[in-house]
């Protein structure tokens, strides 16, 4: 079978001299038995990959054989590290960082159980814009997850080595939805517009510029003071219409989370699963 085409090159738009860019991949782990059975699998369930999950991860690793990977970031849950190892077999010199702040959302007392009416009601609360809502027994809300995970992403971008230009984050489904809605839209009402198949690949470019200024118009980030080549730098595939009820409620923004003004993410490819066609 012919090799899959590579991802688009890093930041096709011309960049000013003061700007640095990094290619960032947000990748969901391979399937576990909990995924296959529909079990609630958050930070309190730490299962290895299933047989299918290993096959998915192997296909994922092959997908990255011809891509550059300088840094791999995983959570402390084994399903992310196990998935990442299939990428690292083609990039043995890539540094690995493990972060507890990047674990999946906690489902509290519903961890390890099939979905109940309670979880259905919780999902409905999120759809209605109540992103402070959480499962009982110490579960987390989307606001809670955003507050711990998104700063960790920014810290990695600030603290990684200059030579670490291509960063693969191998993480979790709900977590990735929250991260993408936060860093691309600054608005958690976009959370469910992002899909998250097992081993799906989301390709973003992160541009850092001390002179950069940005604003958000209808939830879409726009680059200012950089000329036409940097205006509306978000890729066309980025969802632009959140849940209208959520927008009206106005609870989608986290007032305690400060996004830096000098880092902007550009969506390049979202939810790529072409490698799974080989299974």
Burial class (CB in 10 A: 0-12, 13-18, 19+), 60: buried
Q: Six-digit token pair at 127?
A: 């759809």
Instruction: Report if residue 133 sits inside a domain.
Output: yes
pLDDT 10s digits, 145-182:
999 999 999 999 999 999 999 999 999 999 999 999 99
pLDDT 10s digits, 214-272: 555 555 555 554 433 332 333 334 454 443 333 333 344 666 688 888 888 888 899 99
Q: Within a domain: residue 181?
A: yes
Give the chain's domain count.
Answer: 1
Least confident range from 2-16, 76-90, 105-119, 164-178: namely 2-16
pLDDT at res. 207: 85
Is residue 5 one of the residues assigned to a domain?
no
Judge whether 200 lies within some domain: yes
CB 196 within 8 A of CB 177: yes
What does DSSP assign to residue 228?
Answer: G
Largest CA distance in the chain: 54
pLDDT at 255: 66
> How high is the pLDDT of residue 222?
59
The total number of residues written for the chain in this structure: 279
Tell me the pLDDT band of 8, cut-offs 50, 70 and 90. Answer: confident
Q: Tell me how far apart the alpha carbons of residues 168 and 48 are, in angstroms, rounded to a whole number.
A: 20
The reported pTM is: 0.88
Per the domain annotation, does 14 fall within a domain?
Answer: no
Question: How many degrees, rounded to 5, is the angle at CA 64 between CA 234 and CA 78?
Answer: 95
Which domain, by its residues, includes 238?
19-261
CA distance 107 to 126: 14
Q: What is residue 152's three-state secondary structure?
A: helix
190 in a structural domain: yes
Query: How far from chain centre, in Å, is Cα 168?
Result: 10
Q: How high is the mean pLDDT of the chain? A: 85
**DSSP for residue 104:** P
In a domain, residue 53? The reply is yes
| Residue 8 belongs to a domain | no
Instruction: With residue 176 as reference, give the H or E element that holds it.
Output: helix 173-180
Report the CATH number that the domain containing residue 40 is assigned in CATH. 3.40.50.1240
E strand or H helix that includes residue 122: helix 117-127
The rounded distance, in Å, linking the Cα atoms of 99 and 159 is 14
């Amino acid at each position: 079978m012919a090799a899959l085409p590579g991802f688009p090159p890093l930041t096709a738009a011309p960049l000013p001299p003061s700007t640095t860019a990094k290619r960032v991949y947000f990748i969901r782990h391979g399937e576990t038995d909990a995924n296959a059975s529909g079990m609630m699998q958050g930070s309190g369930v730490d299962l290895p990959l299933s047989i299918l999950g290993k096959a998915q991860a192997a296909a994922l690793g092959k997908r990255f054989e011809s891509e550059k990977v300088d840094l791999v970031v995983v959570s402390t849950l084994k399903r992310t590290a196990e998935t990442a190892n299939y990428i690292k077999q083609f990039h043995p010199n890539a540094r690995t960082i493990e972060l507890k702040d990047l674990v999946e959302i906690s489902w509290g007392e519903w961890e390890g159980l099939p979905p109940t009416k309670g979880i259905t009601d919780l999902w409905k609360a999120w759809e209605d814009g109540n992103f402070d809502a959480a499962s009982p027994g110490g579960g987390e809300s989307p606001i809670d997850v955003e507050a711990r995970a998104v700063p960790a992403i920014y810290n990695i971008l600030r603290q990684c080595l200059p030579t670490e230009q291509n960063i693969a984050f191998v993480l979790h489904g709900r977590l990735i939805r929250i991260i993408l809605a936060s860093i691309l839209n600054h608005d958690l009402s976009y959370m469910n517009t992002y899909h998250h198949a097992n081993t799906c690949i989301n390709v973003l470019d992160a541009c850092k510029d001390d002179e950069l200024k940005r604003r958000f118009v209808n939830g879409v980030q726009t680059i200012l003071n950089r000329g036409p080549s940097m205006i509306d730098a978000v890729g066309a595939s980025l969802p632009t219409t959140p849940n209208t009820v959520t927008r009206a409620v106005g609870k989608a923004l986290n007032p305690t989370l400060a996004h830096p003004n000098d880092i902007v993410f550009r969506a390049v490819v979202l939810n790529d699963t072409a490698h799974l066609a080989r299974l």
